[in-house]
Structure 1
């Protein structure tokens, strides 16, 4: 059975990366005495003081427990079991309708509309001719 790491620095890095936050951005959120290098050093530490962990959690806008319990393998497992190739990025590669039939349907609707427009045009011409002949 795999043993879960208790390396808090790695867990902070995992949560930060999952949220798409760069080290520079986290440093800005942590305050003036922080920079990218200091965040990198923090992520290299196995143990982190509870007060600092609380501050990092607040900067990342997550509960402290999320960092403490973070498991990259579990996140990957959940994602791989949740998303399939056919629904990745919200694109359904296996539609429930036949695209060719849908295109034909659209063209038929346009054909009906075009025929109605031609009929309206012919009626308008007939009315205009009757007005001109009436004078």
Structure 2
């Protein structure tokens, strides 16, 4: 189990997956082929020079790859989600008005419009009755 935590290739693979990058894309960024990336990801160790190249292609530091752990990644994303939810972009939006008050204003406005429409129809009916007499 200790080899799994220090397996550089698996860490590279997991970071690549988290960045939503295919092996082919990483291969292209490194100027190599997909089979070479597969070999790197199956390697328990990697030379420092190659690690620096891979880290640059993944947009992370070599230390980030060396120290990568699933738990740290989960904690990072949970922290990000907590930060977003505590801002106005999360689920904790605060209204500066009472939505029920606004709803009641709209209801009252609709009543007034309906009464005006009803009065216009009554006036039209009265005019037609006057014309027919």
User: TM tier, shorter chain?
Assistant: 0.5 to 0.7
Name 2:11's counterpart in structure 1. Answer: 11
Whole-angstrom CA distance in 2 between matches of 1:107 and 1:52: 63
Distance change in 2, residues 1:124/1:107 (3 Å):
same
- Is residue 21 from structure 1 mapped to residue 17 from structure 2 by the alignment? no
Deviation at 1:7, TM superposition (A): 1.5
User: Structure 2: any 5+ residue segments left out of the alignment?
Assistant: none
**Counterparts of 1:28 and 1:125 in 2: how far apart (Å)?**
78
2:33 is matched with: 34
The 3-state SS of whatever aligns with 2:5 is: coil
Give the aligned CA root-mean-square deviation in angstroms.
4.0
Query: Take 1:60 and 1:81, find their aligned partners in 2: how far apart are those partners?
Result: 22
Structure 1 position 115, deviation (Å): 1.0
CA contact (8 A) 1:53 1:64 kept: yes
TM-score (norm 1): 0.61
- Cα deviation for residue 116 of structure 1 reads 2.2
Match of 1:112 in 2: 108
Task: Quote the Cα distance in structure 2 between the aligned partners of 1:30 and 1:82.
Answer: 30
Greater helix fraction, Structure 1 or Structure 2 = 2
Q: How many residues are treated as equivalent by the alignment? A: 118
Shift in CA distance, 125/23, structure 1 to aligned 2, threshold 3 Å: farther
Indicate the SS of the match to 1:5: helix
